[in-house]
Structures are given as structure tokens and as C-alpha cells.
Amino acid sequence: MKKTESFFLDVYEVVRLIPKGRVSSYGAIARYLGTGKSARMVGWAMNAAHDQKPKVPAHRVVNRNGMLSGKMHFSDPDKMQQLLEKEGITVNDDQVINFSSLCWDPSIELG
DNA sequence: CGATTGACGTACG
DNA sequence: TCGTACGCCAATC
């Protein structure tokens, strides 16, 4: 069984579940998937998210600080912030404002 | 097969 | 508050 593959798909699935106008963190997703400390694997999965047919809203995934650490990996660095602002999320200095309230933790929201 | 890297997070000083 | 160090695990060199 391709463990890594299911892990990637699982990450994409969770990311798609992030409601519009909300954001999540790599660590929160990692913990929900059971990887726990391996939040890097979530980011690594995101690296391949561009190739996914169902478009993955990777712009809704930021680090635990609410900083757009992955903006540079988008087609255009500013695209990520534009998408977030388009959904009603305020971004300043590559950082999500009021992130604490906007943080969408799957381990909590999904139960 | 060993060393390096990385869209992270926590710990320590 | 900020910078450095370490762990985590898979992919890449």
C-alpha cells in the first residue's frame, strides 16, 4: 500500500475541507492525520499539490504563526495573499490578521 | 547508500 | 522578543 500517497491525498482532502474565509496550519493538519510532529510532511505534500486535479486551496494553509510561509511557492508570490483577501481574510506583512480566530483546526472542527 | 534539504514546530538561551 | 538549535520524515542529490 502506498502509504505516502494516501498521506498526500489525505492532506489534500483536509485542505479542501477548510471553509472559505478560514485558514489552517500545517501542524494542525499533521496532528489530525496522526503524523503529529511531522508538520513538514504536510508542507512537502503541498509541494505536490499543484499537480492535483481538484484544485487544492493551499493558500488557506499557513504556518502556526499565521504567516504566509508558502506564498513564494505559488505561481505568483502575491497570488496567495490576493486569494486570502478575496475570501475576506485580512493579510498584512505576509501574515494573517486575527489568525487565532480564523484558525481552522480539523482535529477540533471535524471532531 | 550517505548527506542535504524543506510551504514546520517546539525548546532553549 | 529574537535568534539559534534540534527533531521529524520523506524526497532529492
Could you give the C-alpha distances from A21 to A33, A38, A60, in angstroms and in order?
22, 26, 8
Measuring from the CA of residue A40 to each C1' atom, give the nucleotide at the shortest distance. Answer: B8
Amino acid A37: pLDDT: 82
Amino acid A3: pLDDT: 52
Whether the per-residue pLDDT at A2 is higher than 60: the answer is: no
List chain B nucleotides near protein: any atom < 7 Å from a Cβ.
6-10
Whether the per-residue pLDDT at A97 is higher than 70: the answer is: yes
How far in angstroms lies nucleotide C13's C1' from the CA of residue A82? 35
pLDDT digits (tens, 9 = 90+) for A27-57: 999 999 978 788 999 999 999 999 898 999 9
- β-pairing verdict for A61-62 and A91-92: unpaired
Question: Rounded mean pLDDT of chain A?
Answer: 91
